[in-house]
Amino acid sequence: MMNISPTAMVLAAGLGKRLGDITKNTPKPLVSIGNTCCLDLSINALKQAGFTRIIINTHYHADQIADHVKSYTGVEIILSYEPILLETAGGIRNILPEFGGKPFVVVNADMYWQDSNPSVIHRMVDAFESTDDFCMAVTLLKNAKGHSGKGDFVFENGLLRKPTPDDAEFSRYVYIGVQMVNPRVIEPLKIEPLALPGLYLEATEKKSLRGVVFDGTWIDVGNVDGLALARENVA
């Protein structure tokens, strides 16, 4: 098994614009889904996977997230406030030294998910190789509830690549927002606003983007329809 950092990260700084008025006064990670929210789901999944330290980047309504996480016990939670939104790659680069130079896990806070057994995180750790830049948890397009896209990737020898027009829909997978990251791909970056997708594309070209199939429940709640679907799921 790959030796990874005991510190994980939750990305929770986004504006949640696609949810419109729902996120006017509430950050997307704290939008209610039954008696829980996406931030709680991701924190608890990381706790159950054995992480003892979690860094959460914040920006929009950061004070609400800070208040919310005060109730957590059994795990050290550190907040990384971004006065200027650094986006996904920039937010990770901003706190990169916290991972001690080891591969680390990053989880989004804009999804409703019920982790599989064994944890998809443990399976990612088992699959991760030293030549990999990233290892992503992905689900089949047909299982990606609330997702309106055409699928992000297809598999080729255990690695992920961008689909071509010849790839059938049934073979396409969607990234669910759980990943392992090799620090070497982040370290050269400047601390400035930058998103991750460009790095994923480079990794597909280098054949260094590994994939693990997630077979638990996953719903994209970054849009109004997906949020409604998640709320129906827990009703």
In this structure, what CATH number is given to the domain that contains residue 16? 3.90.550.10
142-174 pLDDT per residue, tens:
999 999 888 999 999 999 999 999 999 999 999
**Residue 23 domain-assigned (yes or no):** yes
**Residue 2 domain-assigned (yes or no):** no
Q: How many domains does the chain have?
A: 1
Q: Where are the alpha helices (DSSP H) in the chain?
A: 38-48, 62-68, 87-94, 120-127, 183-186, 197-206, 224-234
**Residue 201 domain-assigned (yes or no):** yes
**Residue 151 domain-assigned (yes or no):** yes
The token pair at 229 is 């679907």
**Residue 1 domain-assigned (yes or no):** no
Asked whether 226 and 119 are in contact (CB, 8 A), the reply is no
| Residues whose CB falls within 8 Å of the CB of residue 191, separated by 6 or more in sequence, listed in order | 86, 90, 93, 94
For residue 1, the model assigns a pLDDT of 45
For the chain, which ranges sit under pLDDT 50? Answer: 1
32-65 pLDDT per residue, tens:
999 999 999 999 999 999 999 999 999 999 999 9
For residue 150, the model assigns a pLDDT of 87
For residue 118, the model assigns a pLDDT of 86
**3 state SS of 127:** helix
Q: What are phi and psi of 15, to 5 degrees?
A: -85, -20
**Residue 177 domain-assigned (yes or no):** yes
Read off the pTM: 0.95
Domain around 154: 7-234
